[in-house]
């Protein structure tokens, strides 16, 4: 079965609104903010949310983008937090959501509203989880990379949209390898978010089709 997750952005429709969720420095977010400054990119960052105070929120505020914090500790349980987060995201009326270094697992309320896009610093389905770079290096792979995928209820298990390959060098440390992956990760996220907004996309099982 095919699910139409978004329609192409027409010239009269204006830029497509997205909400970006962050937890840290916001370098991925900054790449999206920079790209969205060009009207031809077709994306408007409608709001930036976080689960804590972080540099990412400061980047959004400096760009004049509305921000909000939805901290897990402020709610009775994770389910209540998830519902509240979904409500805050919905208030910005996004076409889809981007998790850019957001270090929380989303629940059914958040995942059931709009499509959610994420990047991961490994070639999924290999090396999911919080230590993808470390795990790939420890395994001895010759290539790794970054994956842009839709988020589902699992950990890095959602349908893959696109991937970029990064070669592992003999003298790589986790830090040096991660820095080269980050370059590709930022570029990939900017490309895919822009294409999803401008061209639309559909999901058919585990296949994501742009345009």
Q: Mean per-residue pLDDT for 36-46?
A: 98
Check residue 5 and give its pLDDT. 55
At 208, list the tokens.
């994501």
Give the pLDDT confidence of 52-106 residue by residue, as tens digits: 999 999 999 999 999 999 999 999 999 999 999 999 999 999 999 999 999 999 9
Q: Mean per-residue pLDDT for 118-134?
A: 97
Check residue 1 and give its pLDDT. 37
Listed residue (137, 102, 107) closest to 122, CA to CA: 137
Give the pLDDT confidence of 112-122 residue by residue, as tens digits: 999 999 999 99
For each of the domains in the chain, give its residue range(s) and CATH number, in order of start. Answer: 13-114 (3.40.50.170), 117-201 (3.40.50.170)
Q: Mean per-residue pLDDT for 18-36?
A: 97
- With a cut of 90, say whether residue 202 has pLDDT above it: yes
Percent of the chain with pLDDT over 70: 94
Integer angstrom CA distances of residue 99 from 50, 115, 171: 10, 11, 31
Residues belonging to the active site: 120
- With a cut of 80, say whether residue 14 has pLDDT above it: yes
The set of residues, in sequence order, having a beta carbon less than 8 Å from that of 95 and lying 6+ positions away, is 6, 16, 17, 18, 114, 197
- With a cut of 80, say whether residue 3 has pLDDT above it: no
Check residue 187 and give its pLDDT. 98
pTM, two decimal places: 0.93
User: How far apart are alpha carbons 148 and 133 in whole angstroms?
Assistant: 15
């Amino acid at each position: 079965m095919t699910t139409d997750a978004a329609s192409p952005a027409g010239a009269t429709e204006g830029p497509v609104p997205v909400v970006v969720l962050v937890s840290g420095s916001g370098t991925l977010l900054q790449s999206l903010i920079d790209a969205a400054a060009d009207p031809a990119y077709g994306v408007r960052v409608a709001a930036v949310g976080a689960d804590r105070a972080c540099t990412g929120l400061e980047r959004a505020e400096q760009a004049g983008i509305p921000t909000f914090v939805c901290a897990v500790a402020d709610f009775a349980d994770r389910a209540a937090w998830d519902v509240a987060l979904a409500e805050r995201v919905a208030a910005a009326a996004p076409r889809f959501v981007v998790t850019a270094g957001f270090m929380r697992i989303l629940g059914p309320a958040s995942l059931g509203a709009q499509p959610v896009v994420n990047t991961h610093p490994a070639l999924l389905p290999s090396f999911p989880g919080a230590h993808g770079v470390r795990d790939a290096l420890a395994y001895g792979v010759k290539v790794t990379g970054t994956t842009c995928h839709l988020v589902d209820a699992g950990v890095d298990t959602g349908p893959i949209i696109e991937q970029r390959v990064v070669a592992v060098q003999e003298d790589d440390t986790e830090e040096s390898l991660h820095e080269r992956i980050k370059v590709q990760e930022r570029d990939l996220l900017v490309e895919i978010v822009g294409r999803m907004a401008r061209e639309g996309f559909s999901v058919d099982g585990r296949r994501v089709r742009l345009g």
